Structure 1
Amino acid sequence: MKSLKVDELSFYPAINEEKVQQLWSEVRSAFTHKIIVLDDDPTGVQTVHGVSVYTDWNEDTIERGFLEDNQLFFILTNSRAFTAAETEQVHRDIAERSEKIAQKLGAPYLIISRGDSTLRGHYPLETEVLRHTIEASSGVKVDGEVILPFFKEGGRLTVNNIHYVQQDETLVPAGETEFASDRTFGYQSSHLGEWVEEKTKGEFSKESVTYISLESIRNLEIDTIVEQLMQVRDFGKVVVNALEELDVKIFTTALILAIQKGKRFVFRTAATFTKVIGDISSRPLLTRDELISEEQEHGGLVIVGSHVQKTTDQLKELQTLSNLHFIEFDAHLVLDKEAFKEEITRVQNEAEQTVAKGITTVIYTKRKRLDLGEGMEEEELKLSVEISDAVTSIVRNFSIRPNFLIAKGGITSSDVGTKGLCVKRATVAGQIAPGIPVWKTGEESTFPYIPYVIFPGNVGAVTTLKDVVLTLENK
């Protein structure tokens, strides 16, 4: 499939922003559904601020989310680190509890599966489980599933139904990137209809998919899009094209009108849709003064776990900073339990000593991925969980309070947040760089109220990790 140059997109009609905002104001004000976002790693808060993230899905927790003044809340499932069986159980539990609480409170709601790790994750399993559980619990049919992986901050655009990943000034079809070669969640298709057909093993053909075109969106054909959505049934798939956040807002205007006419959908989307449907405003990037209110003598702590090439390149660039201390954690020792235990102790002791001296310290896992060979994906996933548990134990048992904490990689940042920092509820402060969110941890955390930077593996330029560290380091 052919790559595109960014300037090839300029022939699409410009958006009448004033008209879009007028339509949005008219439609959105009447939309009062509670919005529950299930996040398969913590990066789904890449576009929002001032919202809660819960790290468990007990019935009391979900009810607390429903009772919040905020219309939208996140539940961090971290399901991309789960086996299929674990993922199925978690999503069934959440859907059953959400439906039970919604009925108890008389509150309509939407569930969004925020799972766009560049089209990777337990798809279609998660949304299928949500659909079947909601239907069984409520007796109401779920008409369709909206697929909207657009996320401009991560360079992910959809045009002509093809999902692209921006690399400098080139748009590369997603199926031809390194992300598509993921050993656990790999795929071949860049055309989202073909991707649906591939992932559902032909249950939903590309011809059966409803496509919301950029032409319809840019021409503000709201009635046409509503009519397309009204025709969706039997959990049919809806693919949405988008190049800008306003494209998502135009689609969502039509979506709300369809929902108000009785249609019911579940959603598999990236972070932009959660911001738009939640009607969350944009805000400037966070500054050091907003995140670190009092000077501490200790250094920061940076954990790098993701193995995608972008992360490795960003780590190399970070290593050009001479005032940081770097420790390689030999994760391959996981195959030798005693040696692995000794490695954990070595890394933690060294890091504590340097952070205590005021030196920001970077712990990074060995860059070569552990490869057990063909057919061993589940075993590799289990070992990766052991490695992640080891890394998070270092954070949990760290005897020095770092000035800040950065975790690089989706699964890494989830485990560091939940198992290392022991967060039960965090508040999203905003973003420190495009697509890179910051939590303020709760009072129950290992380090209460510390700024915790969640840095996805597949986001940012080569210099972005270094830039984030410099932002937090500069006094």
Structure 2
Amino acid sequence: MSAAQGSPPLPPVRPVAAAEVARALDGAPRVVFLDDDPTGTQTIRDLPVLTRWGVEDVRWALGRPGAGFFVLTNTRSLAPDRAAARDREVVEACLAASAAEGVALVFASRSDSTLRGHFPLETDVVGEVLAEHGGGVDAVLLAPAFTDAGRLTIRGVHHVRTPEGLVPVADSEFARDATFGYRSSRLADWVAEKSGGRIPAEGVVELTVDAIRPGTTDDLAARLAAVRGGGVVAVDSAVDDDLRAVALAVLAAERGGARLVYRIGPSFVRARVGQDAQPPIDDATLADLVGSDAHGLVVVGSHVALTSTQLARLGERRRFAAVELDVPTLLDDARAGEHLDAAVAAATAALASGPVVLSTSRTLVTGADEATSLDVARRVSAALSRTVGRVVAGRRPGYVVAKGGITSSDVATHALGIDRAVVRGSLLPGIVSLWEPVSGPAAGLPYVVFAGNVGDADSLADVVDRLEGAVGSRS
């Protein structure tokens, strides 16, 4: 990958194998990935996911193999005070479980690779709870990259890959988010912006490819260990090798006593747990997972432009029953009940003959400010989840696909009652994860988490084709 025009060329990539990180995990603390929506699971496989966080649930996750586990907090859908309270509750439960099991933990706040979410609130809360338990935080590692989806950080600036090439993230539609919008593409400036100046840009340590690629693990670990007082370290990543090099340094620094909290995108998850990019789930395994007596339910709540494009392309490639929830009607208490009843009846009946797409209307409805926009999003997502729950209770589909971050969280927890699950892998290379619920009413029902902002125009159709092919293979 070339440097920006006028910039020095990037140093050559230093190859770092996932197996090298896996070997360095011996004796390392387990990572608790506090995931503010379920899409952080799309780069890995065979790790547990919790959607509730009682001490016994956490102990179950600690009893399974692997370098870490996910706790689905869904905090991106919550107001700041509620998000903070939830994070505190989860961290307290995890610390109690770790004491009972004798397992050391480190915490990662996994959030959106396009910089939308509660920062620095969530890492602040983790640090506060750790301090109350005699710990504390020396440094916050900021690594939002999602290389599979083209979210890259190069010389401190975060980029999004588009059909026209890489663009600074602040120039993308994601920076105009009604709730979590921002103006800065340079991570140090973004930290200053999001912290209201409490963390100045000049106080952020930038660990760029110019240091990562020629540096040794000991060099990088020393740089991390030198940070104190909860300072932020912004990490470059143009390829996964960059993040694996940093993961080795993180493990070395932690062995030396450094106390880190991570604020990360999906790619550092994979690097830190010692997994390599793996091919999607094969057809034979998929056929074993997907039910054969009904077609699938695709739930679409995301409103980013890519999702609308993917939905239109799905319609061009395959016949499906479209059931739309009109957002203004959902927000009208006098009309919402009858509207939902009709949608449930239509979707339930249609599952017998083909896939069903249950979507919200495509015109985005927002509030007058961040708080009211978030409230609108929560109300719409809650109505969508109620509809899904009633449809699945009426006729169990062969699979469920949830499109959108908040949507996939609410459908998992509220509609399907998934408490514990295992990530089986992806349906497309590095994106779109499939969970196998292991408890609750949805046990065994394949659940596909599909972020709103990943893939290309054909990705949703490609996923549905694979899943419907699995249905047909057993019919």
TM-score w.r.t. length of structure 2: 0.93
Equivalence for 2:89: 93
Aligned partner of 1:445: which letter? P
Equivalence for 1:103: 99
Report the 3-state secondary structure (helix = DSSP H, G, I; strand = E; otherwise coil) of the residue aligned with 1:46. Answer: helix
Aligned partner of 1:71: which letter? A
CA contact (8 A) 2:427 2:434 kept: yes
Select which of 23, 37, 49 maps to 1:41. Answer: 37
2:128 aligned with 1:132, yes or no? yes
* In structure 1, C-alpha distance between the alignment counterparts of 2:191 and 2:454, rounded to whole Å: 24
CA contact (8 A) 2:52 2:72 kept: yes
TM-superposed CA distance for 1:116, in Å, is: 2.2
* In structure 2, C-alpha distance between the alignment counterparts of 1:199 and 1:153, rounded to whole Å: 26
* In structure 2, C-alpha distance between the alignment counterparts of 1:451 and 1:21, rounded to whole Å: 28
CA contact (8 A) 1:6 1:170 kept: no
Equivalence for 1:360: 355
CA contact (8 A) 1:6 1:169 kept: no
* In structure 2, C-alpha distance between the alignment counterparts of 1:11 and 1:5, rounded to whole Å: 5
Equivalence for 2:10: 12
Equivalence for 1:388: 381
Q: How has the CA–CA distance of structure 1 residues 436 and 295 changed in structure 2, closer, same or farther, with 3 Å as cutoff?
A: closer
Select which of 198, 212, 233 maps to 2:228. Answer: 233
* In structure 1, C-alpha distance between the alignment counterparts of 2:291 and 2:321, rounded to whole Å: 20
TM-superposed CA distance for 1:16, in Å, is: 4.3
User: Sequence identity, in percent?
Assistant: 32
Equivalence for 1:405: 400
Select which of 208, 211, 215 maps to 2:210. Answer: 215
CA contact (8 A) 2:403 2:449 kept: yes
Select which of 297, 319, 324 maps to 1:323. Answer: 319
* In structure 2, C-alpha distance between the alignment counterparts of 1:10 and 1:432, rounded to whole Å: 38
CA contact (8 A) 1:211 1:240 kept: yes
CA contact (8 A) 1:389 1:415 kept: yes
Q: How has the CA–CA distance of structure 1 residues 290 and 8 changed in structure 2, closer, same or farther, with 3 Å as cutoff?
A: farther
What does 1:320-359 correspond to in 2, within 5 Å?
A: 320-356=316-352, 358-359=353-354
* In structure 2, C-alpha distance between the alignment counterparts of 1:339 and 1:389, rounded to whole Å: 16
Q: Deviations over 1:210-241 (max 9, x none)?
A: 11120222114323212211210010000110
2:296 aligned with 1:300, yes or no? yes
Q: How has the CA–CA distance of structure 1 residues 223 and 297 changed in structure 2, closer, same or farther, with 3 Å as cutoff?
A: closer
Q: Deviations over 1:251-279 (max 9, x none)?
A: 11111111111100101001111111111
* In structure 1, C-alpha distance between the alignment counterparts of 2:403 and 2:189, rounded to whole Å: 31
CA contact (8 A) 1:288 1:472 kept: no
Aligned partner of 1:121: which letter? G
* In structure 2, C-alpha distance between the alignment counterparts of 1:22 and 1:411, rounded to whole Å: 33
**Length, aligned pairs only:** 465
Report the 3-state secondary structure (helix = DSSP H, G, I; strand = E; otherwise coil) of the residue aligned with 1:319. Answer: helix
* In structure 2, C-alpha distance between the alignment counterparts of 1:135 and 1:38, rounded to whole Å: 18
Equivalence for 1:257: 252
CA contact (8 A) 1:146 1:237 kept: yes
Aligned partner of 1:231: which letter? A
Q: How has the CA–CA distance of structure 1 residues 443 and 230 changed in structure 2, closer, same or farther, with 3 Å as cutoff?
A: closer
Aligned partner of 2:12: which letter? A
What does 1:157-176 correspond to in 2, within 5 Å?
A: 157-176=152-171
Q: How has the CA–CA distance of structure 1 residues 31 and 166 changed in structure 2, closer, same or farther, with 3 Å as cutoff?
A: farther
2:136 aligned with 1:141, yes or no? yes
What value does the CA root-mean-square deviation take over the aligned residues? 2.1
Report the 3-state secondary structure (helix = DSSP H, G, I; strand = E; otherwise coil) of the residue aligned with 2:401. Answer: strand
* In structure 2, C-alpha distance between the alignment counterparts of 1:67 and 1:287, rounded to whole Å: 27
Aligned partner of 2:264: which letter? T
Report the 3-state secondary structure (helix = DSSP H, G, I; strand = E; otherwise coil) of the residue aligned with 2:44. Answer: coil
* In structure 2, C-alpha distance between the alignment counterparts of 1:310 and 1:7, rounded to whole Å: 28
Report the 3-state secondary structure (helix = DSSP H, G, I; strand = E; otherwise coil) of the residue aligned with 2:107. Answer: strand
Equivalence for 1:190: 185
Report the 3-state secondary structure (helix = DSSP H, G, I; strand = E; otherwise coil) of the residue aligned with 1:56. Answer: coil
TM-superposed CA distance for 1:117, in Å, is: 4.5
* In structure 1, C-alpha distance between the alignment counterparts of 2:320 and 2:4, rounded to whole Å: 36
CA contact (8 A) 1:334 1:383 kept: no
CA contact (8 A) 1:150 1:242 kept: yes
Q: Deviations over 1:102-161 (max 9, x none)?
A: 334432211000012410011111110110111111x22310100001111121000010
Select which of 353, 364, 371 maps to 2:366. Answer: 371
Report the 3-state secondary structure (helix = DSSP H, G, I; strand = E; otherwise coil) of the residue aligned with 2:128. Answer: helix
CA contact (8 A) 1:6 1:171 kept: no
Aligned partner of 1:341: which letter? G
* In structure 2, C-alpha distance between the alignment counterparts of 1:43 and 1:343, rounded to whole Å: 29
TM-score w.r.t. length of structure 1: 0.93
Q: How has the CA–CA distance of structure 1 residues 378 and 299 changed in structure 2, closer, same or farther, with 3 Å as cutoff?
A: same
Q: Deviations over 1:58-106 (max 9, x none)?
A: 1221222233333311100111111111111111112222233333443
* In structure 1, C-alpha distance between the alignment counterparts of 2:111 and 2:19, rounded to whole Å: 30
* In structure 2, C-alpha distance between the alignment counterparts of 1:8 and 1:438, rounded to whole Å: 42
Report the 3-state secondary structure (helix = DSSP H, G, I; strand = E; otherwise coil) of the residue aligned with 1:468. Answer: helix
CA contact (8 A) 2:156 2:188 kept: yes
* In structure 2, C-alpha distance between the alignment counterparts of 1:428 and 1:10, rounded to whole Å: 41
Select which of 275, 278, 299 maps to 2:273. Answer: 278
